[in-house]
Amino acid sequence: MATYQNSAQVLKGLLDATVLLTLSKKDNYGFAIYQEITKQMQGDADLFRESTLYPLLHRLESKGFVDHYWKPGDRGTDRKYYRITKSGKTHLKERVEDWHKVVRVLKRTILAEEGVTK
């Protein structure tokens, strides 16, 4: 449980960028975004819970990084589609740069010493 919570904390910041990256490819609706992300995460998909997706999308929307529109879905009812905004694209670019930095630092520090901790 503790391991899950620790991983979730680390992933929280990553998920913002992951959702924005998914939407930067094309406009999409909640379930399809979830599927796309779990597919990308492969074996670690269980770390991304469905209950976190919608609060995350709504938070991104309130920050102006995404907006939405309604379009008829396969079932005939309207479906909510999200799309990335210009400020969302800028934010994504900044986050990706941040993550590159994190990876570089990790490689030079913790991951470089991996053999010692094993």
Partner 1 sequence: MILSKLTRFPGTGIPYQAVTGNPALDDFLIELDRHLLGSAKVRMQFLAEIKDHLLEKKDPLIEEGRTEDVAMTSAVQSMGTPDELAKSQREELKKKYIGISVPSGIIFGIFMALFSAFTHLKGKGLVLISLNGLQNGVFFGLFMGWFMTFIWPERQLTSALKTYLSSAEESEFVVHYSKWMRRLSYPITVFFLLMGVYCISFGIAGFFYISINKNLLFPRWMSLVLGGIAIIDFFAVRLCCRKYKVNEDGIYVDDFLGRKKIFAWKNLKRVGLLGDIRPWILRYWKKVKYAEFENGNHKAMRMLVYPDMVNADRLFVLLDKKANM
- Burial of residue 66 (CB within 10 Å: 0-12, 13-18, 19+) is buried
Residue 39 found at the interface with partner 1 (CB under 8 A): no
Q: Which of positions 72-111 make contact with partner 1 (CB under 8 A)? A: 73, 75, 77-80, 83, 85-87
* Length reported for the chain: 118
From the list 15-23, 67-75, 97-105, 107-115, the region that binds partner 1 by CB under 8 A is: 67-75
Q: Which is nearer to partner 1, 35 or 113 (CB)?
A: 35
For 16, the enclosing helix (H) or strand (E) is: helix 2-25
Residue 30 found at the interface with partner 1 (CB under 8 A): yes
